[in-house]
């Protein structure tokens, strides 16, 4: 029996992950197994789910994260495809529980699918969010083509240079991604160093950070919100690219026009 028979709330979380995975594939941001999603689903766990015998022995996370101890996460499986996650989420992701030591986890259901190789980054971020008392429960890593392309030059990835260009391409970008785009210099995928640098960038007050020459990592209340922020930023990157392809450098909205947006939407920056 699938764990989804035990909790309507968990079913809704899994459906949202599957829907988002489908969008990532359709966008062309999820070549092969590219990208990953994790959601803190602790609120959806019933006593029946708590009583399930784990499918794995304790597995080390690679770091100790006290605030995720005892919490439950729905995680895309490593080497699994977003297009398969969209079609059959319970065969391409798994429900895990972090042990009370905050250093190990066990796979609980539905199948012994090993979580994403980026688990150190995802769990570090959830640990950070829980410590802060944040309502954010979802984290998303994906490979959005135009945003990643823009990280391939020294011109843009300086603090807030890219943010300013992206905000100025279309008014919605500042309104719906008001913290902009943080930058994490290139680091080895899946590494603890990348996880630590991601926390530092998020702590610098960003909801979306660029992993230079790799992808983006976004956090939000739910997975669809995280997707929408990345989609909005990538739309701006595409407008920028298209203007350049038409042979000119886009003017962008003026500072006064952007200030007007900040006032209208009560934005922090
Ligand atoms: P996983 O298949 O392990 O989730 O890795 C995909 C990825 O994008 C790594 O950065
Ligand atoms: Zn990646």
Ordered strands of the 93-98 beta sheet: 59-60, 104-109, 93-98, 72-76, 36-40, 138-142, 215-220, 208-211, 181-184
**69 C-alpha to ligand 1 centroid (Å):** 23
CA pair distance 1, 150, nearest whole angstrom: 46
- How far, in Å, CA of 5 to CA of 215, rounded? 35
List beta partners, residue 209. 182, 217
Query: pLDDT tens digit string along 109-136?
Result: 999 999 999 999 999 999 999 999 999 9
User: Is a pLDDT exceeding 80 seen at residue 46?
Assistant: yes
DSSP string, 73-93: EEEEBTT--HHHHHH-HHHHE
Q: What mean pLDDT is predicted for residues 214-237?
A: 98
Ligand 2 centroid–CA 118 distance in Å is 8
- Residue holding tokens 């640098």? 197
In Å, what is the CA distance from 68 to each residue of 63, 97, 161, 206, 241?
A: 11, 9, 34, 21, 40
Judged by its nearest atom, the ligand closest to the C-alpha of residue 213 is: 2
Known catalytic residue at 19: no
Determine the 3-state secondary structure of 113 from DSSP: coil
Show the tokens assigned to 266. Answer: 């009560």
Ramachandran assignment for 213, one of left (phi > 0), alpha (psi -120 to 50 degrees), beta (any other)? left
Per the CB < 8 A criterion, the answer to whether 138 and 223 are in contact is: yes
Looking at residue 268, its pLDDT comes to 74
Question: 133-192 pLDDT, tens per residue?
Answer: 999 999 999 999 999 999 999 888 777 899 999 999 999 999 999 999 999 999 999 999
Q: Residue 50 pLDDT > 90, yes or no?
A: yes
Determine contact, residues 175/267, Cβ cutoff 8 Å. Answer: yes
> Taking 80 as the threshold, does the pLDDT of residue 269 lie above it?
no
Nearest CA to ligand 1 atom 1: 78
- Mean pLDDT (the chain, rounded): 97
- Tell me the per-residue pLDDT of 82-101, one tens digit each, with 9 for 90 and over: 999 999 999 999 999 999 99
Pocket around ligand 1: residues whose beta carbon is below 6 Å from it? 33-36, 76, 78-79, 116-118, 141, 189
**Strand-pair partners of 219:** 139
Q: What is the mean pLDDT of residues 10-25?
A: 98
What is the pTM (predicted TM-score) of this model?
A: 0.97
Which residue lies with its CA nearest to atom 10 of ligand 1? Answer: 189
What sign for the dihedral angle of Cα 148, 154, 158, 160?
A: negative
- Max distance between CA atoms of the chain, in angstroms, equals 62
Amino acid 264: pLDDT: 94
How do 215-220 and 93-98 pair as beta strands?
Answer: unpaired
Residue 149 burial by CB count (10 A; 0-12/13-18/19+): exposed, middle or buried? middle
């Amino acid at each position: 029996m699938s764990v989804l028979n035990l909790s309507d709330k968990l079913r809704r979380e899994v459906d949202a992950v599957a829907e988002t995975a489908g969008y990532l594939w359709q966008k062309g941001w999820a070549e092969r197994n590219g990208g990953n999603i994790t959601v803190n689903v602790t609120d959806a766990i019933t006593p029946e789910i708590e009583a399930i015998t784990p499918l794995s022995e304790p597995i080390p996370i690679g770091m100790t994260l006290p605030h995720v101890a005892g919490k439950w996460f729905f995680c895309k499986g490593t080497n699994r495809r977003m297009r398969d996650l969209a079609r059959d989420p319970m065969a391409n992701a798994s429900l895990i529980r972090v042990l009370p030591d905050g250093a190990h986890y066990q796979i609980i259901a539905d199948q012994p699918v090993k979580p994403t190789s980026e688990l150190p980054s995802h769990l570090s971020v959830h640990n950070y969010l829980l410590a802060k008392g944040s309502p954010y429960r979802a984290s998303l890593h994906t490979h959005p083509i135009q945003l990643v392309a823009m990280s391939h030059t020294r011109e843009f990835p300086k603090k807030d240079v890219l943010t300013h260009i992206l905000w100025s391409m279309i008014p919605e970008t500042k309104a719906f991604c008001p913290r902009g785009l943080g930058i994490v210099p290139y680091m080895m995928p899946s590494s603890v160093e990348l996880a630590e640098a991601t926390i530092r960038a998020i702590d610098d007050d960003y909801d979306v950070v660029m992993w230079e020459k790799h992808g983006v990592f976004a956090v939000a209340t739910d997975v669809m919100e995280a997707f929408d922020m990345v989609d909005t930023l990538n739309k701006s990157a595409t407008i920028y690219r298209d203007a350049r392809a038409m042979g000119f450098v886009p003017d962008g909205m003026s500072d006064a026009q952007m200030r007007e947006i900040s006032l209208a939407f009560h934005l922090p920056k």
